[in-house]
Structure 1
Amino acid sequence: MNFKLVLWLLWAGFIAYILLLAPPFHLDKTLTLLKNIFTLHWTSINPIILSLFSLVGIWLLIYSSLLFIDGRMQSIRFWPFAIASVGSGVLGLLPYLALREPNQQFSGQKDAFLDLLDSRFYGIVLTLSTIVLLVYGIAFGDWGDYVQQFQSDRFINGMSLAFCLFYVLFPTVVGDDMARRRFPNAQVFLAVVFVPLLGSLAYLCLRPPLLLSTISEQTFIANRSISTR
């Protein structure tokens, strides 16, 4: 089956699950949770829920460090999907993964934003933040309460599954990023793929800088469009 079709089916299937099969949606409870998160009233939130919410954000930042660079060489840009992902998580990301074409090059110069996303400093900050969140959630969280909320609350249920989908989908983009950097090490790839979250973060900390192509971005996109006709 065509891989793009698989991604579209996954996107549609996740939407169908959330709407038809997930636990009930409690609007007041969800709004209260979000209000407490954004107003820093964290003592009233189960640390597992708070950590999970934050780790979904970490996943978005991990993907951003690859896909804003990838989007430079695509006929579509990543930024609209990044904005959609802030509000919808993996549902905003999946359409980009389905629409993008494989590419293992980067052309032109990196601006300050891409330079930050490409830096090891970015990966180190995300890694340290993740370790703090994991320790906080595991050490202080109420697992019984989390399981009860997972089974009874659509927002918590969907957020938890989205976290898992971010992990499952990461191999669809990391291979191109490795090739873009001339880093085709199978053992490293397996470590990134099979170690949830921390493997991806280790990759951001250890990957070499981008190798820049001498061809222009517009020429690359135009040539690929012609070749795919």
Structure 2
Amino acid sequence: MTRKIALWSLWAGFIAYILWLAPPLHLEDTIILLKNIFTLNWAEVNPVVLSLFSLIGSCLFIYSAVLFIDGRMQWIPFWPFALAAVTSGVLGLLPYLAFREPNQEFSGQKDAFLQFVDSRFFGVAVSLMTIGLFAYALIWGDWPNYWQYFWGDRFLNGMSLAFCLFCLLFPTVLGDDMARRGFNNPLIFWAVALVPLFGPLAYLCLRPSLPENTRVVNNRESTVRSIY
């Protein structure tokens, strides 16, 4: 219950921040920025901003590699929240994290999509894309310009903070995913949890494949469920 309250509070607090505390929204500039991104007119976009926008997509891929599997065993599937997150970022993801119950089980067969997001190829591909985006921003980005807009523009400020939340929230689902794979190693958990973004990427590349037709259950949780 404490976890749910914290997640719902974070969701509501982030919305309140964007509406009332964030820098002003420069709608015309935001529309021009998005138009340049979606029409591939990237020469007109600061590489830092373009990379940040794309890294939100990397974060969605990271969560997809865990939560589509998790959603198979939840009372509510992940895919509606994944679609919401495509347009609203972390605001679309947080409700799923709040609604879901801790679950360290998986049963049945993986379909083709689950096999893909569970594959090492998927983890490596997302990692290479993310590393490339970081290199692009670090080498060619105009960082003074980015910080100027971070403090003065609501869209860029909110997008930057959303990216930070994506990175910080991954440990809330990491433990269950590790347990489903029989990969209960506290040292690995903390190594992944304490290295934002790149820790989860390394985990996706190295984690054992999810077993099929098995149920990996935490003994303590199994006992609690049997009581209720």
Secondary structure in 2 matching 1:110: coil
Distance in 2, matches of 1:156 and 1:213, equals 45
Aligned to 1:59: 59
C-alpha contact 1:107 1:213 (8 A) present in aligned 2: yes
CA contact (8 A) 2:109 2:213 kept: no
Q: 1:228 to 1:61 in 2, by over 3 A?
A: farther
Q: Structure 1 115/228 Cα, relative in aligned 2: closer, same or farther at 3 Å? A: farther
Compute the TM-score of the two structures, normalised by the length of structure 1: 0.93
Q: Secondary structure at the match of 2:177?
A: helix
Aligned to 2:18: 18
Task: Report if aligned partners of 1:118, 1:209 keep a CA contact under 8 Å in 2.
Answer: yes
* Identity value in percent: 66
- Give the C-alpha shift of residue 227 in structure 1: 6.0
Query: Over residues 86-124 of structure 1, what are the superposed CA-to-partner deviations in whole Å (9 max), with x where a residue is unaligned?
Result: 010000000000000011111111111000000000000
Match of 1:113 in 2: 113
**Aligned partners of 1:151 and 1:157 also within 8 Å:** yes
CA distance in 1, matches of 2:97, 2:226: 20
CA 1:228–1:138: 2 relative to 1, 3 Å: farther
Matches within 5 A, 1:8-87: 8-87=8-87
Give the gaps of 5 or more residues in structure 1.
Answer: 216-222
Aligned to 2:160: 160
AA paired with 2:161? L
Deviation at 1:32, TM superposition (A): 1.1
Report the TM-score, using the length of structure 2 for normalisation.
0.93
CA deviation map 1:181-202 (0-9, x unaligned):
0111112111111112111100
SS of structure 2 residue aligned to 1:74:
coil
How far did 1:153 drift?
Answer: 0.6
Listed as ranges, the matches of 1:70-149 within 5 Å are 70-149=70-149
| Alpha-carbon distance in structure 2 between the residues aligned to 1:2 and 1:194 | 22
Is 1:174 the counterpart of 2:174? The answer is yes
Q: CA RMSD in A?
A: 1.7
**Structure 2: which 5+ runs fail to align?**
216-221
Aligned runs of 1:200-211 on 2, under 5 Å? Answer: 200-211=200-211
> What secondary structure is seen at the aligned counterpart in 1 of 2:75?
coil
TM-superposed CA distance for 1:212, in Å, is 2.5
- In 1, distance between residues paired with 2:165 and 2:93? 10
Number of equivalent positions: 221
Change (3 A) 1:167 1:47: same
